[in-house]
């Protein structure tokens, strides 16, 4: 008898979960406007543009370093560019 009650509760929870999954996507929310002011935010000082070549392919990216790493890493980057 107790096993049947536990199975009934589990089936009830599953049905509630499935009904929520089915109905929630149909709930509509107002679209939020995106402000396009055209202004580009300043680049953080911890950002470094990095470009290197691997097997003839040029790879570019941004490297973000914490401030306490910047001095030692900047010296190494300058050394690698030579």
Tens-digit pLDDT profile for residues 34-81: 776 666 677 777 788 889 899 999 999 988 877 666 566 666 665 555
Burial (0-12, 13-18, 19+ Cβ within 10 Å), 70: middle
Q: Is the pLDDT of residue 9 over 90?
A: yes
Indicate whether 49 belongs to any domain: yes
Per the structure, how many domains does the chain have?
Answer: 1
- What number is the average pLDDT over the span 4-23? 91
Cα dihedral 70, 76, 77, 78 sign:
positive
pLDDT, position 73: 62
Does residue 56 fall inside a structural domain? yes
pTM: 0.34
Domain annotation covers residue 37? no
**Domain range enclosing 65:** 2-27+45-81
């Amino acid at each position: 008898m107790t096993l049947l009650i536990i199975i009934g509760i589990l089936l009830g929870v599953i049905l509630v979960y499935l009904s929520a999954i089915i109905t929630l996507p149909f709930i509509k929310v107002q679209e939020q406007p995106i402000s396009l002011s055209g202004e580009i935010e300043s680049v953080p000082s911890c950002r470094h543009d990095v470009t290197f070549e691997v097997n003839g392919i040029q790879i570019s990216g941004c490297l973000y370093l914490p401030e306490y790493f910047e001095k030692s890493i900047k010296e190494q980057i300058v050394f690698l560019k030579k």
